[in-house]
């Protein structure tokens, strides 16, 4: 009975190396998942902020006649207005995030004088 107990004590070097290999592959998979999840959250935040910024640009234009500087550095924006024969103007706000997402909003702004 003592001989059986001596043979069953501990793990062999091969078993320990295989266990470490499986553990490291599992950790690398989880890190890759975490990285893609973080990128997705960052992209979603930029999408929401791009739409909010486009709306803000249109609001500023309707009140002052010009846009404002974007609140985040590295973002690109373009504000254009197309006027027709009447007193209305179609204003477009285009925002591009650093992740190359584009948001575009348009608003028809009419100035009626009595």
> What is the tens place of the pLDDT at every residue in 31-69?
999 999 999 999 999 999 999 988 988 888 888 877 777
Task: Answer yes or no: is 46 within a domain.
Answer: yes
The number of domains in the chain is 1
Task: Answer yes or no: is 3 within a domain.
Answer: no
Flag the least confident range among 13-17, 82-86, 93-97: 82-86
Residue 101 exposed, middle or buried by CB count within 10 Å (0-12, 13-18, 19+): middle
Sequence-ordered alpha helix ranges (H) in 8-113: 13-64
- Amino acid 88: pLDDT: 84
Task: Answer yes or no: is 23 within a domain.
Answer: yes
> What is the tens place of the pLDDT at every residue in 67-83?
777 667 788 888 888 87
Name the residue range of residue 50's domain.
11-110
Task: Answer yes or no: is 2 within a domain.
Answer: no
Task: Answer yes or no: is 33 within a domain.
Answer: yes
Task: Answer yes or no: is 49 within a domain.
Answer: yes
Residue 110 token pair: 């009419």
**Contact (CB, 8 A) for 82 and 93:** no
Average pLDDT of span 19-42:
95
pLDDT at 4 > cutoff 70: no
Quick one: what percent of the chain has pLDDT higher than 90?
36
pTM above 0.75, yes or no: no
- Amino acid 100: pLDDT: 85
Task: Answer yes or no: is 76 within a domain.
Answer: yes
């Amino acid at each position: 009975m003592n001989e059986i107990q001596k043979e069953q004590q501990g793990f062999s070097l091969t078993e320990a190396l295989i266990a470490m290999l499986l553990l490291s592959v599992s950790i690398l998979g989880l890190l890759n998942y975490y990285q893609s999840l973080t990128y997705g959250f960052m992209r979603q935040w930029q999408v929401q902020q791009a739409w909010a910024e486009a709306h803000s640009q249109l609001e500023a234009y309707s009140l002052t006649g010009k846009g404002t500087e974007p609140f985040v550095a590295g973002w690109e924006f373009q504000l254009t207005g197309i006027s027709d024969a009447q007193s209305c103007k179609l204003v477009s706000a285009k925002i591009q995030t650093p992740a190359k997402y584009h948001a575009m909003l348009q608003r028809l702004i009419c100035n009626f004088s009595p």
